[in-house]
Chain A
Amino acid sequence: MHPNTTSRRTPFHDFHRAAGAKLVEFAGFEMPVRYGGDVREHLAVRNAVGLFDITHMGEFRVTGAGAAEFIHRAVTNDVLGMEVGQAIYTPMCRPDGGIVDDLLVYRFAAHFMLVVNASTTAKDLAWLQEHAPRAVEITDLSDETALLAVQGPRAEQVLRGHVPDAALQLGFYRFMEGPAFDAPAVISRTGYTGEDGFELYFHPRFAAQVWEGIVRAGATAGLEPVGLGARDTLRLEMGYVLYGNDIDDTTTPLEAGLGWTVKLKKEGFAGRDALLRQREQGLARRLVGFELDGRRVPRHGMAIESGGRPMGRVTSGTFSPSLERPIGMGYVESAFDRPGGTLEVVAGGSKLSARIVPRPFWTRGSRRS
């Protein structure tokens, strides 16, 4: 539970300490799990604005002749169709359709940036390097990249005057390079919360000025620092999957409801044959969202049953601060994937009654699409 001596610290460590954060070990980093309280931080993001240190995420730079074609073949989404200044979300699959990781791909004029999960950074780098043609160079920039997310309906208000005006005009999943709080940065209108917001990538040497600048600019907007605890409840209310919980090497994007990121018409990408076969044969299981009555909370790993028959397991569960009820996700046999269908979640000696509902659970976010 407590941070061990081998975990790495982000350049914002002292600010977390000063803000009273409870720090935990996460994917090799000592990260803030909460400051004031999960619910308070969660609601700050839904109603005002929150500041997240997500420096633990991994960043790769991909350059060289054929870089676009290489990434296009490595992931399931359409990379060749991307414009410069655009980011996309995409799974990256094994030949059997299992998910190596889910990531963001950023297209710059002459290179790409891939943003990957902290827990899979080393695996992803090895995977990509193994499959890259000789002319393509993949550089791990994770140690030279600090990453802060400013998320919430007042995110624009916080950044106004501290980033170029053009950055405030960015559409969802668009980005630009420019100064943020006087630091050279990649300013990206992306996030994992369902709210409007930005993610700022910059060199760690600017950590103090950017963090302090955001906190100062956010003071009148009700900005709060937000830990990994609320980051998880925010993403789960949106039904966003978390690698290692809801998806992994043994699940496919189609099963996880990520079909919109899989361009099956695209020739020759890793996992295509297996995913085509899976689509033709029909999915044996699907990831569903469910809500529960009462206050008992479904947790990762709990069994899901239907009429006493085993169905699968809960992959994510929490008490939703916005909906004030327990929610969860898990895999069930495809035949049971219908809104209103009922399931039981086995929580110790109790069976909790759950109802399948469409994702996202929370539909009132400020996110632009």
Chain B
Amino acid sequence: MAFPDDLRYTPEHEWTRLEGGLVTVGITSYATDQLGDVVFVELPAAGKQLEAQKAFGVVEAVKTVSDLFAPLAGEVVEVNAALADNPALVNQDPFGEGWMIRLKPANADHLMKLLSSVDYEKFVEEQHA
């Protein structure tokens, strides 16, 4: 399984993309493959302050549920409103239309502590070793 190399990843299977000082966060294709069909995504409201590694939302799939963890600290500036009506976007396009929140990071340098695509791929493979 290969993952986009312009993103940074967490061991909890979130991805992050830095654009114009904001960090977009979603879950990886590996995560959606594990979860199955997503039926609901509970996200915080814009303005909410997130703490790194703390749960900030919930993904409900038909068979299972999973918490979402903040990859880094920051303020939520936008949530993907399209997911309310169409949570299947998370399965269909996890790295694109299925994004979840945009953060104004407290410290964007902390992104470099996250996993590169190569390291994340290794991490996922180790889960199946």
Could you tell me which residues of chain B, from 6 to 53, have a CB within 8 Å of some CB in chain A?
Answer: 33-34, 36-37, 39-40, 42
Q: Which chain A positions have C-beta within 8 A of B127?
A: 1-2
Contact A2 B128 (CB under 8 A): yes
CA of A40 to CA of B62, assembled, Å: 11
Interface string of A13-39 (1 = CB under 8 A from B): 000000000100000000001100111
Asked if B108 CB lies within 8 Å of chain A CBs, one says: no
**Which residues in window 41-72 of B have CB below 8 A to A?**
42, 58, 60-65
User: Complex: how many Å from CA A38 to CA B32?
Assistant: 12
For the complex, what is the distance from the CA of A75 to the CA of B81, rounded to whole Å? 54
Determine the distance from Cα of A88 to Cα of B124 in the docked complex, in whole angstroms. 46
Tell me if B116 is interfacial: C-beta within 8 Å of chain A.
no
Interface residue tally on B, bucketed by range: 10 to 19
Main secondary structure of the interface of A (DSSP, over half): mixed
A33 vs B62: C-alpha distance in the bound complex, in angstroms? 12
Q: What are the residues of chain A within 8 A of B63 when measuring CB–CB?
A: 33, 38, 229, 232-233, 318
Pairwise interchain contact A233-B62, C-beta atoms closer than 8 A: yes
B42 A296 Cβ-Cβ under 8 A: yes
Among A34, A297, A299, A318, max chain B CB count under 10 A is at: A297
B11 to chain A, nearest CB (A): 14
Instruction: Identify A37's interface contact among B37, B42, B60, B64, CB under 8 A.
Output: B37
Min CB distance, A3 to chain B, in Å?
9
Whether the pair A297, B37 counts as a contact (CB closer than 8 A) is: no
B36 contacts across to A, CB distance below 8 A: 33-34, 37-38, 229
Instruction: Indicate whether A277 reaches chain B with its CB closer than 8 angstroms.
Output: no
A-B pairs with lowest CB-CB distance, top 6: A295-B40, A38-B62, A319-B39, A39-B37, A38-B36, A297-B60
Which chain B residues have a beta carbon within 8 Å of chain A's beta carbons? 33-34, 36-37, 39-40, 42, 58, 60-65, 87, 91, 127-128
Please name 12 pairs of A and B residues whose Cβ atoms are closer than 8 Å in the assembled complex, sorted by A: A2-B127, A2-B128, A22-B33, A37-B37, A38-B61, A229-B63, A294-B40, A295-B87, A296-B58, A297-B65, A319-B40, A319-B62
